Amino acid sequence: MTIHPAPASAEAVPTAGEQARRVLRRWPTLLLVWGLVLLLALLLGLLTPRSYTASTEVRVDPLSSVVTAAPSAGQKVEIATERKIAASEEVARRAHEQETRFGTQQLRSHVSVSSDTGTSVLTFEAHAEDAGQAADMADALAQAYLDQRAEDVDQAVDEAVRHLDEQIGGLSPEADEQQVRRLREARAQALAAPRQAGAVITPADQDEHSSSPGLAYYLLAGLIGGFLLGVVAAAVRDRTDPRVAFPDRAAQILDAEVLEADAQDLPEQTALLWRRWGLRPGVQPGSATVLNLPADESIGWLVADSLQETSGAETHHLSLTGVDARTAEELDRSQRLILALSPTTRRRALRRLAAACRRADLEVDAVILLR
């Protein structure tokens, strides 16, 4: 027989240890939620495709360093503009023409272009389910951008030469020979200027390490997250369970100590209870009344029969949901009042009965939770 004492207060806040015990006694709920979350994490880890990332860095040269005779000489690279050009559909279409494995929209959706403030470097970052494919996409778009920019440089050089030719052609026969020489030298410099608009400074690397979480990550998340969710579910289950289920829950409702007994050794336990009251079975039998809720009538009869058999007491049995004045008067004549419960006793019904007993000023001497 296990005795579960009454709590210090029916409204007392449970300690951390008590809360832990309440969670652990709901271990089926904890394990069920834990297992389901772990299984879900395993499935996600197996079904989620792996993702690889590859980056290509490109240096963008300003046009002024290539075409010194152009009217736009001295301008700096507008990196924000170049970034938009690199991410444009026109560049993606050019990359598709050079690398037909990748569609135009595929390149635009799988490759992003970024730049750091204060630099003239563009970073092409590609994401794919294969490391080699990611590297090829980043390189393809970067090369397409450089080709596009090279055409822009050629166009700028041609424009500079055309502009100089117009100036030379517009000179009068009496023009200063020095002025003519200066324009012709500028034209020669423009034609001889290097036409490189930029270069790949860091090609994409086929990194074999996936950038997406692997199976181990999902399993670890499932273990930790599943346990935490299981603890929460167990705590909620214990708090919302409509049944009494455990002795301490009955003790909290009744504000009385609860004796937990097994059906097999109930006779021995009721005899110990009688001795605990200072009565000797068969010598000082006394009288007792066993109370129970209607749903626990069979439990009440079992406790009453066991008590009468072991103690020889004059034992009565009563099923009730409330206590009126007449019932209270009859119960007051009994030497001992014993309340019999089962784990399936409804907490709401037990609260109503406990409130009725308090209003009638009836004190229950013992509460037996029979499993």
Give one DSSP letter per residue of 162-181, joined into a string: HHHHHHHHTS-TTS-HHHHH
pLDDT at 26: 92
pLDDT at 330: 78
Extended strands (E) in 38-95: 52-60
Read off the pLDDT of residues 137-184 as tens digits, 9 standing for 90 and up. Answer: 999 999 999 998 888 888 877 777 787 777 777 766 666 677 767 777
What DSSP state is assigned to residue 360?
Answer: T
pLDDT at 214: 79
Quick one: pLDDT band at residue 11, thresholds 50, 70, 90? very low
Closest CA to 73 of 199, 201, 189: 189
What is the rounded CA–CA span in Å between residue 3 and residue 257?
7
Quick one: pLDDT band at residue 119, thresholds 50, 70, 90? confident
As given in the structure block, the two tokens for residue 226 are 């599943």
pLDDT at 125: 93
Q: For residue 366, give the 3-state DSSP assignment.
A: strand
Q: Which residue in the block uniquely carries the two structure tokens 């020889």?
A: 312
pLDDT at 190: 67
Of 28-32, 225-229, 361-365, the one with minimum mean pLDDT is 361-365
What is the rounded CA–CA span in Å between residue 248 and residue 258?
7
pLDDT at 285: 57
Model confidence at 208: pLDDT above 70: no
Helix (H) or strand (E) segment spanning residue 202: strand 198-202
What is the rounded CA–CA span in Å between residue 256 and residue 108?
72
pLDDT at 3: 45
Quick one: pLDDT band at residue 7, thresholds 50, 70, 90? low
pLDDT at 88: 92
Quick one: pLDDT band at residue 72, thresholds 50, 70, 90? very low
Quick one: pLDDT band at residue 187, thresholds 50, 70, 90? confident
Instruction: Provide φ and ψ at 75, rounded to 5°.
Output: -75, 150
Mean pLDDT across the stretch 280-289? 65
Mean pLDDT across the stretch 5-30? 75
Distances (CA, A) of 188 to 37, 68, 171, 193: 73, 11, 18, 9
pLDDT at 215: 85
What is the rounded CA–CA span in Å between residue 371 and residue 369?
6
Of 13-22, 34-43, 287-296, the one with minimum mean pLDDT is 13-22
Q: What is the mean pLDDT of the chain?
A: 82
Model confidence at 73: pLDDT above 60: no
Which strand ranges, in their side-by-side order, compose the sheet holding 314-319?
Answer: 2-4, 258-261, 366-370, 336-341, 287-292, 314-319
Closest CA to 152 of 60, 74, 59: 60
Mean pLDDT across the stretch 308-316? 79
Mean pLDDT across the stretch 310-335? 79
The most confident of 15-19, 214-218, 224-228, by mean pLDDT: 224-228
Model confidence at 194: pLDDT above 70: no
Strands 336-341 and 198-202: unpaired
Quick one: pLDDT band at residue 256, thresholds 50, 70, 90? confident
What is the rounded CA–CA span in Å between residue 251 and residue 239?
15
Mean pLDDT across the stretch 337-348? 90
Fold annotation for 2-11+246-370: Rossmann fold (3.40.50)
Mean pLDDT across the stretch 184-196? 69
Read off the pLDDT of residues 22-63 as tens digits, 9 standing for 90 and up. Answer: 899 999 999 999 999 999 999 998 888 888 889 999 999 886
pLDDT at 70: 44
pTM of this structure: 0.60
CA 267 to chain centre: 52
pLDDT at 354: 86
Quick one: pLDDT band at residue 289, thresholds 50, 70, 90? confident
